[in-house]
């Protein structure tokens, strides 16, 4: 890992894609410069944090003008490794795996789904939304042949740990877990999880307090 | 909205479910008390922020002991409105809608999927994973009859704004958007989005910097 990457705190890394998304919205609206205050508002953090986060990228903005939207997007994309594609394998060809294979946001943002993999022989052999379905046993070969960078776990919770072990054994060092369970990965493997229920809990907070007051 | 709810910053509300998930893990491991440092580590923030966030709930912990896991979980669940169920409607009965209807984490955490809704008459009338599929036109009636609290948008990006308008018109005031696009909702409606590609971008950061150094 580069020295600079080592110096960027994990929480900052997790916010970079949020800033990048805000910058893309500004770019779509043909806005050329943005203040840290405006970017903070869009990303849901405070302006001091934005300035601190961006300083890790070597971006300081111009007093009274702000940050150049296009240049900051470029810097951030480069830092995030988004200037080239990262082929992805999805493990689990059920509804969630199929939905993810068909999710427009992945390819569009540089994460083409190169293969679906499933433990059931019945699902193997065909194509789902143009993505070939292979058997779990072929994972090591697929990972090497397709240059898979990231494995997505889209299985039931009960299979998730076994799948994570198989991904790691196939040399895949970045794992995104959609299964609603906690899994462990070897040292040196990056793991992120998507908790689909988490945002519902945020909504229920506001719903609860709205209902209480009847407003 | 209650005075207290008004005082809790949005960013704190967004972290409460993350703390709650960490507390559930501790509870599963039969751990009775937790320090702000440990909770911070599990949630990926710093300890000062944990203490500040929890102070909004009126929780201050005990010096040298920490927070009572069970009591803090209870307080947090109550604050988040998780002591009762919030019926959910999913709009879009494609792969993503079907996957969400089948996602174990929703019912388990108090968000039973009461109905799926689709614009295509062909999909209407049956059941998917035990959830009835209705036509979009029936949304206002369904919302009232089933007491729907939250609407989930699981359609392609092109339909998302129209669906958000229909949900709002049906009196549903909490919306979770999975479609990869920006939508607007009326004043007084809560909107959250799930960006499925965002976590991939975090992984690509680490992958990029690992590859650069060949470690």
Domain identity same for A47 and A73:
yes
CB A177 within 8 A of CB A194: yes
For residues B157-183, b (16+ Cβ closer than 10 Å) or e, as one string? bebbbebbebbbebebbbbbbbbbbeb
How many residues would you count in chain A? 215
Range of the domain at B107: 88-198
Domain CATH for A106: 3.40.50.720
Q: Is position A208 within any domain?
A: no
Residue A76: count other Cβ atoms within 10 Å of its Cβ. 21
Q: How far is A65 from chain B (nearest CA, A)?
A: 26
Q: Strands across the sheet with A190-193, in order?
A: A127-128, A131-135, A113-118, A88-91, A150-153, A174-177, A190-193
Which of A204-213, B125-134, B184-193 comes out lowest in average pLDDT? A204-213
Q: Do B199 and A215 touch (CB under 8 A)?
A: no
For residues A138 and A192, membership in a common domain is answered with yes
Positions of E strands within B5-48: 33-34
Are B110 and B65 part of one and the same domain?
no
Map tokens 């054994």 to a residue.
Answer: A169
Query: Cβ contacts (< 8 Å) between A88 and chain B: which residues?
Result: 200
Cα B205 to the center of its chain, rounded Å: 25
Residues A48 and A143 in one domain: no
Parallel/antiparallel/unpaired status of strands B127-128 and B131-135: antiparallel
CA distance A83 to B107: 40
For residue A212, tell me if it sits in a domain. no
A68 and A116 in a single domain? The answer is: no
Residue B152 half-sphere exposure, CB side, CA atoms within 13 Å?
30
Q: Check residue B213 and give its pLDDT.
A: 53
Residue A213 belongs to a domain: no
Give the SS3 label for residue B91.
Answer: strand
Q: Distance (Å) from the C-alpha of residue A208 to the closest C-alpha of chain B?
A: 5
Residue-level pLDDT at A199:
86
Is B61 among the domain residues?
yes
Pick the more confident residue, B65 or A154: A154
Cβ-Cβ contacts under 8 Å for B123 (sequence gap 6 or more):
B93, B133
B105 lies in a domain?
yes
Check whether residue B124 and residue B184 sit in a common domain. yes
- Reply yes or no on whether the pLDDT at A123 is more than 80: yes
pLDDT of residue A213: 53
- The two structure tokens encoding residue B2: 């209650």
Q: Report the Cα–Cα distance between both ends of chain A, in Å, rounded.
A: 52
Residue A122 lies in a domain: yes
For residue range A15-61, what is the model confidence (pLDDT) as tens digits?
999 899 899 989 989 999 999 999 998 887 889 999 999 999 888 88
The answer to whether residues A171 and A73 belong to one domain is no
Interface A–B counts its CB contacts (< 8 A) at 232
Percent of all residues in chain A with a pLDDT value above 90, rounded to a whole number: 59
What dihedral do alpha carbons A59, B15, B60, B2 form, nearest 10°? 110
pTM: 0.79
Question: CB of A207 within 8 A of CB of B149?
Answer: yes
Contact B207 A173 (CB under 8 A): yes
Residue A206 falls inside a structural domain: no
Question: Which residues face A176 on adjacent strands?
Answer: A152, A192
A73: domain CATH number is: 1.10.10.10
Q: How far is residue A167's CA from residue A192's CA, in Å, rounded to a whole number?
A: 14
Domain boundary among B21, B46, B79: B79
Distance CA B110, CA B201 (A): 30
Task: For residue B57, list chain A residues with Cβ-Cβ distance below 8 A.
Answer: none
The alpha-carbon gap from B81 to the nearest alpha carbon of chain A, in Å, equals 5
CB contact under 8 A, A176 and B203: yes
Judged by CB atoms closer than 8 Å, whether chains meet at B173 and A210 is answered as yes
Structural domain contains residue B211: no
A96 has pLDDT over 80: yes
H helical segments located in B57-197: 69-79, 95-101, 104-108, 139-146, 160-169
Return the bridge partners of B176, or none.
Answer: B152, B192
Whether residue A153 is found in the same domain as residue A56:
no
H or E element that contains A133: strand A131-135
Do the beta carbons of residue A195 and residue B161 sit within 8 Å?
no
Contact A201 B79 (CB under 8 A): no
Does the beta-carbon distance from A197 to B105 stay under 8 Å?
yes
B94 lies in the same domain as B174: yes
Q: Is the ipTM of this complex over 0.90?
A: no
Residue with tokens 């958000």: B164
Which residues of chain B neighbour A197 with C-beta distances below 8 Å?
A: 17, 103, 105-106, 108-109, 111
Angle made by CA atoms B195, A209, B184, in degrees to the nearest 5: 40
Q: Say which of B44, B45, B95 has its CB closest to residue A102.
A: B95
* CB-CB neighbors (< 8 A) of A176 in chain B: 199-200, 203
Residue in chain B nearest A12 by alpha carbon: B202
Q: What is the pLDDT of residue B214?
A: 46
Query: Quick check: A173 and B10 CB within 8 A?
Result: no
Last residue of a domain, one of A79, A111, A137: A79
The answer to whether A16 and B201 have CB atoms below 8 angstroms apart is: yes
CB-based burial, B17-34: b 16+ in 10 Å, e otherwise: bbbbbbbeebeeeeeebb
Which is higher by pLDDT, B195 or B35? B35
Partners of A131 in beta bridges: A128
Determine the Cα–Cα distance for residues B67 and B72; give it in Å rounded to an integer.
7
Residues A53 and A125 in one domain: no
Considering only CB atoms, B197 lies closest to which of A6, A94, A111, namely: A111
B194 shares its domain with B95: yes
Shortest CA gap A138–chain B (Å): 23
For chain B, how many structural domains are there in total? 2
**Same domain, yes or no, for A96 and A186?**
yes
Whole-angstrom Cα Rg for chain B: 20
Q: Give the residue from A79, A111, A133 where a domain finishes.
A: A79
Q: What is the pLDDT of residues B4-49, one digit of tens each?
A: 555 788 889 989 998 998 999 899 899 999 999 999 988 878 899 9
């Amino acid at each position: 890992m580069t020295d600079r990457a080592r110096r960027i705190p994990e929480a900052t890394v997790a916010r970079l894609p949020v800033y990048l998304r805000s910058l893309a919205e500004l770019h779509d609206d043909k806005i050329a410069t943005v203040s840290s205050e405006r970017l903070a508002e869009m990303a849901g953090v405070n302006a001091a944090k934005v300035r601190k986060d961006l300083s890790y990228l070597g971006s300081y903005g111009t007093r009274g003008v702000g940050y150049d939207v296009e240049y900051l997007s470029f810097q951030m994309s480069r830092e995030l490794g988004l200037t080239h594609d990262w082929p992805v394998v999805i493990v689990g060809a059920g509804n969630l795996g199929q939905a993810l294979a068909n999710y427009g946001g992945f390819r569009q943002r540089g994460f083409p789904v190169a293969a679906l993999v499933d433990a059931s022989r019945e699902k193997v052999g065909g194509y789902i939304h143009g993505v070939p379905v292979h058997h779990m046993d072929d994972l090591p070969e697929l990972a090497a042949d397709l240059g898979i960078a990231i494995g997505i776990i889209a299985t039931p919770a009960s299979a998730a740990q076994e799948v994570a072990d198989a991904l790691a054994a196939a040399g895949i060092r970045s794992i995104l877990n959609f299964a609603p369970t906690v899994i462990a990965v070897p040292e040196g493997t990056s793991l992120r999880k998507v908790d689909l229920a988490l945002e519902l809990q945020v909504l229920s907070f506001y719903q609860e307090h709205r209902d209480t007051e009847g407003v």
